[in-house]
Structure 1
């Protein structure tokens, strides 16, 4: 009798352990990470004191979008870029839209964009020394491709402050990371659900 009970107990423990590992594996397989977004280049010819083409009011910028997921592609909706004066975003300087596209796993996309600007707003944003600071916001929605399945859309809203020198280019030579002030990290929620599911199985199975 005791041998049967011991065997049943070992079987139950083995089942619970296997189910827990399966749940953990599913979480690791399905969790996603939002693309990393940054500004590679930023140039306003109208602020370039060394240029003879200061009547050109078109903003030129370059974005870097990284899909860090090892086995998941990313479908981007239109990528909307808005540039404001600093710091209160009370006036829009210019807007640009980069068309939707697909990005494979572990791939990096470099996207160039232009935006006609309001020169009066730009002029008011310039400091006495000729430099300026602008706010750049990026908004889009992405779907993740997991094998042949697409997830629902996840909104991405990120931004950063960009300091521009007297030549109309960004001061920081390194890429400027666009980050979110809110909690839109999909993987964070997946992590919580996965851990809770794992402990639920261990306790109640």
Structure 2
């Protein structure tokens, strides 16, 4: 008696196993440790138009602080900052600033200070406290060895900045944070699912 051919299923398994294995290797590579995330804060954010001593300037002065938490030196790509004004109804950009790439030693601290000329804000209708937002985009690498660096870690963080009637921050040292941790969790869950599929294909 001729038995039914199982070529279809067998071929599908032969194709599926290498495919699942390749995806697992790629995802596991993505889970490898990269450059340690720096601790970034806004130390100063002063809205000149709100200060009692002057009301004619649309300049905002800011002080960005970056602290390297890694045991190895870090290399930063250009720092790209975008500032937003957040009203009750909407949010829109009011200025931006860019700082050149730089090197930071292990556990080092650096400040990047600048001014932006604000555009588009109706100061007369603003309510106190005023809320602004800053978003920072950059990439960081660690110097693992003298002649070798970690892969580039793309970094997007932000924070709300609340300002009082004197034009200064209500809360000092505002940390810029990210939701990147959710992406890592999602990738880990996908790895677990793929391991389950691989186990099923091997033992079913």
Query: TM-score normalised to the size of structure 1?
Result: 0.67
- Answering whether residue 39 of structure 2 is matched by residue 40 of structure 1, we say no
Pairwise CA distance, 1:181: 2.4
| 2:132–2:160 CA contact under 8 A, matched in 1 | yes
* Whole-angstrom CA distance in 1 between matches of 2:143 and 2:125: 42
* Whole-angstrom CA distance in 1 between matches of 2:44 and 2:90: 21
What's the counterpart of residue 93 of structure 1?
94
Pairwise CA distance, 1:136: 1.0
| Gap runs ≥5 in structure 2 | 1-32, 193-204
What's the counterpart of residue 163 of structure 1?
162
**1:43-73 Cα deviation digits (max 9, x unpaired):** 010122x11x322111110011011111x11
SS, match of residue 183 in structure 1: helix
What's the counterpart of residue 175 of structure 1?
173
**Cα 1:153/1:122, change in 2 over 3 Å:** farther
- Answering whether residue 130 of structure 2 is matched by residue 132 of structure 1, we say yes
* Whole-angstrom CA distance in 2 between matches of 1:125 and 1:109: 36
| 1:38–1:63 CA contact under 8 A, matched in 2 | yes
SS, match of residue 170 in structure 2: coil
| 1:125–1:133 CA contact under 8 A, matched in 2 | no
Match runs of 1:1-205 below 5 Å:
32-48=35-51, 50-51=52-53, 53-70=54-71, 72-86=72-86, 90-118=91-119, 120-121=120-121, 123=123, 126-127=126-127, 130-147=128-145, 148-172=147-171, 174-183=172-181
Q: How well do the aligned residues superpose, as a CA RMSD in angstroms?
A: 2.6
**Cα 1:184/1:105, change in 2 over 3 Å:** farther
| 2:34–2:150 CA contact under 8 A, matched in 1 | no
Pairwise CA distance, 1:99: 1.6
Pairwise CA distance, 1:184: 8.1
* Whole-angstrom CA distance in 1 between matches of 2:102 and 2:182: 21
**Cα 1:89/1:180, change in 2 over 3 Å:** farther
**1:152-181 Cα deviation digits (max 9, x unpaired):** 321111111110011111111x31010002
| 1:156–1:184 CA contact under 8 A, matched in 2 | no
| 1:133–1:161 CA contact under 8 A, matched in 2 | yes
SS, match of residue 135 in structure 1: strand
